Copies of this chain bind each other. A is one copy, B any other.
Amino acid sequence: MTETVALSTAPSTALLTDHYELTMLQASLADGTAHRRSVFELFGRRLPDGRRYGVVAGVNRLLDALERFRFDEQTIAFLADRGIVDQPTRDWLADFRFSGDIAGYADGEIFFPGSPVLVVESSFAEAVLLETVFLSILNHDSAVASAASRMTWWAGGRPCIEMGSRRTHEEAAVASALAAYIAGFATTSNLEAARRFGIPSAGTAAHSFTLLHDTERDAFVSQVDALGKGTTLLVDTYDLTEAVKTAIEITGPELGAVRLDSGDLPSLAGQVRDQLDALGATKTRIIVTSDLDEYQIAALAPAAVDGYGVGTSLVTGSGYPTCGFVYKLVAREDADGTMLPVAKKSPDKISIGGRKYALRRRSAAGVAELELIGVGERPQDDGDDRELLKPLVEAGKIVGRTTPAESQAHHLKVRDELPRSASQLSRGEPAIPTEYIGDLKTRNPFAPRSAI
């Protein structure tokens, strides 16, 4: 048996929290409002500039984090030492178990401006504590999945390989690998992601391996001896044409693939394809990996390329490393026990009070037409509305887990519902409009004007 614990399961997530959540807890416990039933919603006010849709990822990681959100003795001792909260608050925290309900969009689901990606209903005390860790996970993972989905869409049937670990925080790398997989990537280079989530990993050799050897031939022979003729040989360390010739001399036509990591990829790929074909290696694939993003992948569509390795642009959300999701109190119990919608009065930061429902309205042909978001009674459904909020947690019990493979399948299915224009890389409006319906008047206790 092993003595250490997996990175994902052991440690408490309770302090992945902003200081002010605990000070709010202390004040509200003291005045009694901590126990008011409250609804928080997590949503984005807009998509990144020019994007047509976003992709939710991180929901299963969020459920894992919730399970490990416990204030153990060490954590309580830290809060006491630093004087962050008082003794009654520490006592409350020591017993903390989330007992409320959470509904949310599934991993792999598409989202639009205003989509209530997560709805948390519980006491104020329980729900406010989870703000930061929930936002961290969904803002990061969904940013990566949103970029990844554009890449896999444009890659068509060609596999995309996630290899961005080195360009992002070491744990963000693990989460990015999962987010990419959910959005249709075939494999990851990240071994911790392979272990933790069970997704496929792949890798062969870097330039350093060739440079380590006295000759490129020595390096290729060594790699083929170790990994077999089905391996991928990196052919651009010195002279590309020489390398391809040497590679096929060693393996014959059974060589799995060659990899190009620099230069003018479309023309080099064509040249290598011709050379491989002339050498009889017609089944040897060509993998390209040099600073690709969705635009490069689209540009390579007509090229003699069989797969894409994507790094930096994937893990940094291709220009948009965060989704800008916020987590807002939208309704809470009044002194007499009735639920009141609430919203901040701010002209530049729109929030809509009241607990939302969310439906994707589709045409009879199954094409998405509207993101319907509302408060109160739902509209008539002629059978083409798809319910977007799924139960994730019920009375503190986690009920909504999905596997990475299920999440990927869900993504590919719901992406297929979008109008074809959603794949456009040119800047433009969201693929479908968001429509608010129902009673949206925010009954702000101070200023009874609509928040919209």
List chain A positions with a Cβ less than 8 A from chain B: 1-7, 10-13, 15-24, 26-28, 30-31, 33, 36, 38, 40, 65, 72-75, 77-78, 82, 84, 86, 124, 128, 131-133, 135-137, 139-141, 163, 165-175, 189-192, 194-195, 201-209, 211-216, 218, 222-223, 225-227, 236-239, 262-263, 312, 315-316, 321-322, 324, 327-329, 332, 334-335, 342-349, 444-447
B206 touching A20, Cβ below 8 Å = yes
A432 to B349, CA, bound (A): 42
B36 touching A222, Cβ below 8 Å = no
User: For residue A131, which residues in chain B have a CB less than 8 angstroms away from its CB?
Assistant: 166, 206, 208
Which of A133, A203, A212, A312 neighbours the largest number of chain B CB atoms within 10 Å of its CB? A212
B12 touching A262, Cβ below 8 Å = no
Stoichiometry, as copies per complex, reads 2
User: For residue A347, which residues in chain B have a CB less than 8 angstroms away from its CB?
Assistant: 262-263
User: For residue A28, which residues in chain B have a CB less than 8 angstroms away from its CB?
Assistant: 209, 212, 222
A-B contact pairs, 9 of them (CB 8 A): A19-B190, A30-B225, A33-B213, A124-B212, A136-B170, A167-B324, A168-B321, A169-B172, A212-B329
Chain B residue nearest to A70 in the complex (CB): B4
B23 touching A203, Cβ below 8 Å = yes
In whole Å, how far is A322's beta carbon from the nearest beta carbon of chain B?
A: 4
B238 touching A82, Cβ below 8 Å = no
Chain B residue nearest to A196 in the complex (CB): B15
A18 touching B189, Cβ below 8 Å = yes
User: For residue A203, which residues in chain B have a CB less than 8 angstroms away from its CB?
Assistant: 18-23
A322 touching B168, Cβ below 8 Å = yes
A73 touching B226, Cβ below 8 Å = no
Instruction: Choose among B215, B321, B444 the residue that contacts A446 (Cβ–Cβ < 8 A).
Output: B215
A204 to B128, CA, bound (A): 13
In whole Å, how far is A435's beta carbon from the nearest beta carbon of chain B?
A: 25
Which of A135, A172, A190 neighbours the largest number of chain B CB atoms within 10 Å of its CB? A172
B332 touching A137, Cβ below 8 Å = no
B204 touching A20, Cβ below 8 Å = yes
A202 to B227, CA, bound (A): 53
Which of A20, A75, A169 neighbours the largest number of chain B CB atoms within 10 Å of its CB? A169
User: For residue A20, which residues in chain B have a CB less than 8 angstroms away from its CB?
Assistant: 189, 203-206
A12 to B195, CA, bound (A): 13
B324 touching A312, Cβ below 8 Å = yes
User: For residue A216, which residues in chain B have a CB less than 8 angstroms away from its CB?
Assistant: 446
A173 touching B209, Cβ below 8 Å = no
In whole Å, how far is A58's beta carbon from the nearest beta carbon of chain B?
A: 9
